[in-house]
Amino acid sequence: MPEEVLGFDVVVVGSGIAGLTMALEIARAGKDVAVVTKKRLEDSSTNWAQGGIAGVLDSSNQAAIERHIDDTISAGAGVCDEELVRDVISEAAVRIRALIEEGVPFERKSDGEYDLAKEGGHQEKRILHVKDRTGEAIETTLIERLKQQNVTILEQWMAIDLVMRKRGQPQNGVRGIWCLDAEGNVHTICCRALVLATGGAGQLWRETTNPTVATGDGVAMAHRAGAGVKHLEFIQFHPTALAIQGKRPFLITEALRGHGAILMTIEGHQIFRKEGGEPENHSYMLEKDPRGSLATRDIVARTTDQMLKKSGEPHALLVTEHLDSKDLKNRFPTIADKLQAHGIQFGPDPIPVTPAAHYIVGGIDVGKNGECITTNGSVYPGLYAIGEVASTGLHGANRLASNSLLEAIVMSHRARNHLLEHIDEYPLELKDAPVWRADGLHRLQEHAPIKADRIALRTIMSDDVGLVRRDERLNRALRKLDHTGEEIERTWRASKPTKGLVELRNMSIVARLVTQAAKKRRNNIGLHYNMDLE
């Protein structure tokens, strides 16, 4: 497509649950919407989500709602915005029912009641799921609905940078976004309002449960355009990613532990086999937390990491031999298939697992309606952030399992209401829109350095800015990241953009923001753990 200036009422960047819900609701309100997504619509973290969506469906059951609020606040270790927690969890029933009306086939039991699952940190079963492919069911349903609307879908379009109404003046608002298409052309897309729903940044670490698209693009773009970011030191590592040498980590949902699977060391498992008895009594987790394998994710991941470092074992084991393997296969078919591909079977074979980067709890600073906040603390007119890219205060210092899909649907609905209320205040300025100037820039001759820098960056983050940190390591990481970052900027300024280069630049910026935030935090809380602060 030749380079041109396009115009829409609303542009949504990202196509996970947050972006799709927003685009759908805005289109239904009669607005002209475009969805920009750097791969295909379905290439999102949502599509990979196994566990489910937490929420109390019976809105008259205030006691159950209060327990969900308590669990969220307790997992968040005192850092949650309690008012927002209360709002989001109280709105769960209405928003989940809206998803059900869209057609998401949440699992029911034979008596017709929803089959609720339990995960770490939840005191009771409250997670709706579609076997172990909840995200895929949601994503497929929403895409189907979106395609019934008159929405412009720009797949394989990579967002590069926000166009501000007045350069260097975030308080004047956002005017649009520059995007790179699959042919290498850069387009200016103008809009009244822009919604960032770009997801997470798991690709910053070598071992991650996230898809390759999770490169922190939204945080980097918003930061460059003067939006505030916060709580980036809180990186959630999932305790149980399948650990097969030479293979990418694969999520083993926490719901499997909710279903009775137990974490053991290799040695502990041998003793369990020999001596039998209550499986949980053989878990290394029980020494650390009375909830054992179902303690909150920060505790399970950190304890597992410490255990592995101390014992030198290559991985922990998730043991299911005391459970009904036929039932497990039926309840967790995606995992069963994956395990089978590696010659592992539910029941007789313990599953090798290690922690892997899973979710970025912090993100773009937003208000109660997903409206972005500038670094000066004022509202950023026309700019919204929803889903994993946003820091709403719901998760505090540690996200409670399966609260993120809930946050996405509640916050996109709130942002939708706010946006529609204010959209007339944001003009569509097509005339003299700034076009991306590539004159004098070279086409990248060699892509190998881009790939090498990406690997180097992930190594630095995994080695020095992981689950357990030290001041010296953080300082070392920052020095290395600053150096790599300068090199990347040099290449960026001289070259025509490519998707790989745009992503690398974003990753480099977010890596530094995460490391700076980790250095700055001087107390161990939730997901942030620095051994020098013990």
Minimum Å gap between C-beta 254 and ligand SIN is 3
Alpha-carbon torsion (268, 270, 271, 273), positive or negative:
positive
In the region spanning residues 231 to 270, those forming contacts with ligand SIN, defined by CB under 6 A, are: 253-255
Minimum Å gap between C-beta 297 and ligand SIN is 8
Q: Which is nearer to ligand SIN, 138 or 255 (by Cβ)? A: 255
Three-class secondary structure of residue 20 per DSSP: helix
Minimum Å gap between C-beta 50 and ligand SIN is 4
For residue 441, the 8-state DSSP code is P
Minimum Å gap between C-beta 128 and ligand SIN is 12
Instruction: List active site positions.
Output: 297
# residues contacting ligand SIN (CB under 6 A): 9
**Beta-sheet pairing, 174-180 with 186-196:** antiparallel
Q: Which stretch binds ligand SIN (CB under 6 A): 34-42, 191-199, 398-406, 471-479?
A: 398-406
Minimum Å gap between C-beta 419 and ligand SIN is 26
- Nearest residue to ligand SIN, using CB? 51
In the region spanning residues 334 to 373, those forming contacts with ligand SIN, defined by CB under 6 A, are: 359
Q: Which stretch binds ligand SIN (CB under 6 A): 20-28, 191-199, 364-372, 396-404?
A: 396-404
What does the block give as tokens for 298?
């920060």
Query: What are the distances in angstroms from CA 306 to CA 295, 310, 399, 467?
Result: 15, 6, 21, 10
User: Is 402 one of the binding residues for ligand SIN (CB under 6 A)?
Assistant: yes
Minimum Å gap between C-beta 401 and ligand SIN is 4
User: Is 412 one of the binding residues for ligand SIN (CB under 6 A)?
Assistant: no
Q: Which is nearer to ligand SIN, 139 or 254 (by Cβ)? A: 254
In the region spanning residues 35 to 64, those forming contacts with ligand SIN, defined by CB under 6 A, are: 50-51
Residues in the chain: 534
* DSSP E strands, 116-247: 127-128, 151-155, 158-164, 174-180, 186-196, 229-230, 235-242
User: Is 404 one of the binding residues for ligand SIN (CB under 6 A)?
Assistant: yes
Q: How many CA atoms within 13 Å lie on the side-chain side of 418?
A: 24
How many separate helices (H) and strands (E) can be counted in the chain? 16, 18
Q: Please give the Cα distance from 519 to 76 (Å, whole number).
A: 20
User: Is 398 one of the binding residues for ligand SIN (CB under 6 A)?
Assistant: no
* Residue in 449, 527, 517 with CA at minimum distance from that of residue 477: 517
Say which amino acid occupies 323: L
In the region spanning residues 309 to 338, those forming contacts with ligand SIN, defined by CB under 6 A, are: none
Positions that interact with ligand SIN (CB under 6 A): 50-51, 253-255, 359, 401-402, 404
